[in-house]
Amino acid sequence: MTIVTAAKPGAALWNPQAHMPTARAKRLVITGGQGAWLETSTGDRLLDATASLWHANIGHGRERLARAAYDQMVKLETYHTFGRFSNEPALELADRLAEMGPIPGAKVMLTSGGSDSVDLACKLARRHWQLEGRADKKIILSRDGGYHGLHAFGTSVAGLQYNRDGYGTPSLIPETARISTNDIDAVRRSVTELGPDNIAAIIAEPVIGTGGVIGPAEGYLEGLEELCRRHDILLIADEVITGFGRTGRQFASQRWGIRPDLVTMAKGVTSGYAPLGGVLVAPQVADRFFEGADAPMFRHGLTYSGHATACAVALANLDVIEEEQLVERAAWLENVLEKVVAPLTDHELVEEVRAGAGFMAGIHLHDGVVGDSIAEACTDAGVLIRVIHDNTLQICPPFVTTEDELDLIATTIAQALDAYLTRRTTS
Ligand X SMILES: Cc1ncc(COP(=O)(O)O)c(C=O)c1O
- Using CB under 6 A as the binding rule, whether residue 224 contacts ligand X is answered as no
Strand ranges across the sheet with 37-40: 30-34, 37-40, 45-48, 383-384
- Alpha-carbon distance 388 to 164, whole Å? 16
Q: Which is nearer to ligand X, 201 or 350 (CB)?
A: 201
- Of all residues in the shown chain, the one whose CB is closest to ligand X is 114
Query: Which of the stretches 30-38, 235-243, 346-354, 373-381 binds ligand X when contact is defined by CB under 6 A?
Result: 235-243
Please, which residues have CB within 8 angstroms of residue 105's CB and are 6 or more apart in sequence?
98, 282, 283
Among residues 59, 206, 209, 215, the one that binds ligand X under rule CB under 6 A: 209
Strand ranges across the sheet with 176-179: 107-111, 277-281, 262-265, 234-238, 199-204, 139-143, 176-179
Q: Which is nearer to ligand X, 269 or 369 (CB)?
A: 269
CB of 103 to ligand X, least distance (A): 18
CB of 16 to ligand X, least distance (A): 9
In DSSP terms, which residues pair with 45 in a beta bridge? 39
- Alpha-carbon distance 218 to 184, whole Å? 10
- Alpha-carbon distance 199 to 193, whole Å? 11
Among residues 33, 59, 114, 243, the one that binds ligand X under rule CB under 6 A: 114
Size of the site for ligand X (CB under 6 A): 15
- Residue 43 CB coordination number (10 Å): 7
State which of positions 261-320 bind ligand X (CB under 6 A). Answer: 266
Among residues 115, 171, 176, 412, the one that binds ligand X under rule CB under 6 A: 115
DSSP state of 163: G
Q: Is the separation of the CB atoms in 88 and 308 below 8 Å?
A: yes
Among residues 35, 101, 145, 149, the one that binds ligand X under rule CB under 6 A: 149
Q: How far is CA 336 from the centre of its chain?
A: 22
Query: Which of the stretches 36-44, 108-116, 123-131, 406-414 binds ligand X when contact is defined by CB under 6 A?
Result: 108-116
- Alpha-carbon distance 36 to 303, whole Å? 33
- Using CB under 6 A as the binding rule, whether residue 148 contacts ligand X is answered as yes
Among residues 184, 241, 263, 280, the one that binds ligand X under rule CB under 6 A: 241
Query: Which of the stretches 22-30, 186-194, 204-212, 398-406 binds ligand X when contact is defined by CB under 6 A?
Result: 204-212
- Using CB under 6 A as the binding rule, whether residue 118 contacts ligand X is answered as yes
Binding site for ligand X (CB under 6 A): 53, 113-115, 118, 147-149, 205, 209-210, 238, 240-241, 266
